[in-house]
Each structure stands twice: as structure tokens, then as C-alpha cells.
Amino acid sequence: MTMVDIILKKRNGYPLSKEEIAHFVEGYTKGSIPDYQAAALLMAIYFQKMNKEETAHLTEAIMKSGRLVDLSAIEGIKVDKHSTGGVGDKTTLALGAMVAACGVPVAKMSGRGLGHTGGTIDKLESIPGFSVELSIADFIKNVNDIKLAVIGQSKDLAPADKMLYALRDVTGTVDNISLIASSVMSKKLAAGADAIILDVKTGDGAFMKDIEDSFLLAKEMVDIGTSMGRETVAIITDMDQPLGLAIGNSLEVKEALQTLKGNGPEDFTELCINLGAHMLLLAKNATTFEEARGKIKDTMASGTALETFKAFVKGQGGNIAYIENMELLPKSDKVMALLAEKEGYIHGIEAEAVGLGALALGAGRENKESSIDLSVGLVLNKKVGDYVAEGDTLAYLHYNDENRLSSAKERLIKAFKLQSEKPKERPLIYGLVTKNGIERY
Ligand code: URA
């Protein structure tokens, strides 16, 4: 079989076999298939699409391109959570501690932020001393003892995905359901969890802007997980505005801590309760959804979620004085109010523009080498549906550098979409996808 035959077959609309897909992924990872042929095949896949079988074969080939993590030394059913990416998404920080406080092991591999999206590891590193550089043995020990540990995603996990994703990024082939589903699921499957919950974002700030496409993507990923023997469920959630109020590393840690104490923003708290309840069900820690919701809520009311978070931070070298008194966490020198330039109801807060505004303040990385300022970012004062008069405060900008402030302000003010009529209420969670089908809320 030659790569030209494979490209022609897909270009002409025929399904590829398991062997052809494996030949492509292996050859591309080893360097025997050049970028130009891989790019041609990706574009053919983009236009001709892949069926479910091809997508499952592609996922398996990408998963097998690197190391498969073995979590069998961790007691209990390991459930992993993945979000398809969002702005202000500090879910792992709060959710991990809530679920672990119920006795369910959470063994998480996370990444750093790039561009307009933040990363869990950067956020955790706002806590002095905290390190994600654990050996696999210590990682497993911490999960067994504390029920929660987070490490950086190792370089040899699904290396084909890193190469293919970089190529897709520069060839206009990112937003294809089979390519996204195989990219996400190959990493999740290689990371070794027994069951997986996916938070598929929909709306302006998400890969999938259209709700129906988001359900299709979720179904595709659930089917892949199921076909590989891992119970997988997905919820579809709103990303027409950032999640919660805080965007920026230490600001998000503070918001996660407030949430663990039961004082978090309503949307973020509800998302944690919903995702957490699904995780307990997948781990067989509860028998009904209502029971599972109750258990997660109890972790906030009783203080066990916060205690678990402290033990987790201590277990990874972090100074818990910063958790006990969060005023000690990195703080910017200055704060200014971003004021509304006209009156109206907020119809949307463009998540990507907000992410880019936070990046302009220094909270994110423009490229892999850039350093970040853990103290800066913004805290929203208004959300979608709120009415604002001219001069009302839309958000508080936490900054250190005046030069960075002006470009951030310009982006952020444009992120708020104001209209004269009140917008229709939108749900936070649009539905649930399981192996049995789609349930719309
Ligand atoms: N996230 C991923 O990991 N891969 C994609 O293709 C899109 C989002």
C-alpha cells in the first residue's frame, strides 16, 4: 500500500481500512510520510468525512503511537474528566477535590495554557511550592492515599496527536468531527482511566459553535470510548460566555476555593455538581443521579472538599498557608473597573475575546516559551442576561503593566454584546449523551 493510494481512496469518497489508517499514523509519526502527504489526507478526510469505524481505527492508531498509562495499581474505578476547552474553565481544580472527597480516585493528567485558553497546571502553580513533576510511583501513591493527584501530560502520550494537531492547525482541518473526536479520545484512552466524562462546550467560545454539531461530536466520542471498553458519557454545556467570573491563574484558584466552600458563582457550582454526580455514578459510588448530586453538595457543606484540596496541595509540595488564607496568593498591583460605554442587556460575552484580553494582560502564553504573570486577569461583574447602564462596571481588570492594559481593555470592551431587548434564557447544560443515545434537556 502506498500513501498516494490511501489519499486517492479517501479523496474519491471510499472508507479506509484499519491497516491503511494504521499505515498512515505510524508512517507519519516515524517521519517516513511527509507533511505534504499527511496534509493532503487530512483535507480529503475533512471533505469526505470518516464513518464511525474509520474514526475508531484512527483513534486506536493515535492512542497506540505512544505509551499507554497503567493505572491498575490505583484501587477503585478511575474516572477521568475532559473538557473540550473553555475560558474561565477551572473545573478540574474544584471538581477533583469534590469527587475525591466522596472516596472516588481522581488521577488527572493536565496541560498548560496556550493562546486564549488557560491550563490547569499553570493555575495550580499559583500556589507556591506546588509541583506537577511527580514520578509515576508518587502519583499513584498520592491517588491511593489522598484520592487526588495531578501530573503534567507526558510527552510520550499519543505523540501522533501532537504532530497531527500541529498540522491541522496550519492546514484548515481542525473543525472536523472525526479528527477532533479521535484527537481527544486517543489521549483520554491512553491515560488509562476506566470511565470517562466529557464536557463538550458549545457556542461562540467553543470549537463547535452549533448545538447540533456539539451533540454529534459528543456522540462520536461516547461511541469511541464505548467501543474501546470504557464507559463514556458526555454533557453539552454553554460557552457563550466564560464559565464563572474569574479568568486568570491565581484569580481562578481563588474562585475554585470559594466554590469548594460553597460560595462560588452559580453556573460554575452547578457545572461541578452535575459533572461530579456523573463521575460518582460512573464510579458506582451512588445509584441514582439525585443521590450523587446530594453527595457532591455535601462535600461543600461539610468542608470535606476543602480539606481534600488542602491534602492534595500538601501532597504535591504546595504551601497550604496559601489555601487557608487565599489573600496570600499572587495579587496584581492594580485593579481597574471596565465600564460599559452604553446601556443594554448583555446577550453574549465572547469567550475567545475575553481569553485574548486576559492574554494581553499577561495571564496567558503567546507561544510555548513565553512566561506568564500568575496574578493578572479579570473578574466579571456582569453576566449574560444582566442589564447595564452606561458607566456600570462590566468587569474588574487585575493588572501590573499599563502598556498591556490598553490593548486588553480594547479587546474586552468589544467582548460584551449589548442589545436593547432582554435575551432569551439559555440553559447551562443542553443535554446528556450516553451509549444509549441523546437526551436533550
Ligand atoms: N482538543 C483536542 O485535544 N483536539 C482537538 O482536535 C480539539 C480539541
> Per-residue pLDDT tens for 5-25?
999 999 999 999 999 999 999
> Which structural domains are found in the chain, ordered by start?
1-68+158-183 (1.20.970.10), 79-157+184-324+430-440 (3.40.1030.10), 331-419 (3.90.1170.30)
**Ligand 1 neighbour 24 (Cβ under 6 A):** no
3 state SS of 230: coil
Tell me: pLDDT of 304 over 90: yes
pLDDT at 199: 96
Distance (angstroms) between ligand 1 centre and the Cα of 294 equals 32
Distance (angstroms) between ligand 1 centre and the Cα of 72 equals 26
Distance (angstroms) between ligand 1 centre and the Cα of 183 equals 5
pLDDT at 3: 97
Residues 251-260 have a mean pLDDT of: 98
pLDDT at 110: 86
Residues 126-149 have a mean pLDDT of: 94
pLDDT at 86: 77
Distance (angstroms) between ligand 1 centre and the Cα of 83 equals 10
- Look up 187 and say whether it is catalytic: yes
- Look up 298 and say whether it is catalytic: no
> Which three three-digit cell numbers place residue 141?
501513591
Query: 362: exposed, middle or buried (C-beta count within 10 Å: 0-12, 13-18, 19+)?
Result: buried
Residue 85 pLDDT level (bands cut at 50, 70, 90): confident
**Ligand 1 neighbour 207 (Cβ under 6 A):** yes
Angle at 385 between CA 383 and CA 388, to 5 degrees: 75
Count of other CB atoms within 10 angstroms of residue 369: 6
Average pLDDT, the chain: 94
pLDDT at 154: 79
Of 204-218, 370-384, 402-416, 418-432, the poorest mean pLDDT is in: 204-218
Best of 161, 180, 199, 202 to mutate for ligand 1, by most ligand atoms within 8 A of CB?
180
**What would you report as the CA-atom Rg of the chain, rounded to the nearest whole angstrom?**
22
- Look up 82 and say whether it is catalytic: yes
**Order of all β-strands in the sheet with 387-388:** 387-388, 344-349, 416-419
Tell me: pLDDT of 280 over 80: yes
**Ligand 1 neighbour 201 (Cβ under 6 A):** no
**Ligand 1 neighbour 217 (Cβ under 6 A):** no
pLDDT > 70 in the chain, percent: 100
Tell me: pLDDT of 117 over 90: no
- Look up 230 and say whether it is catalytic: no
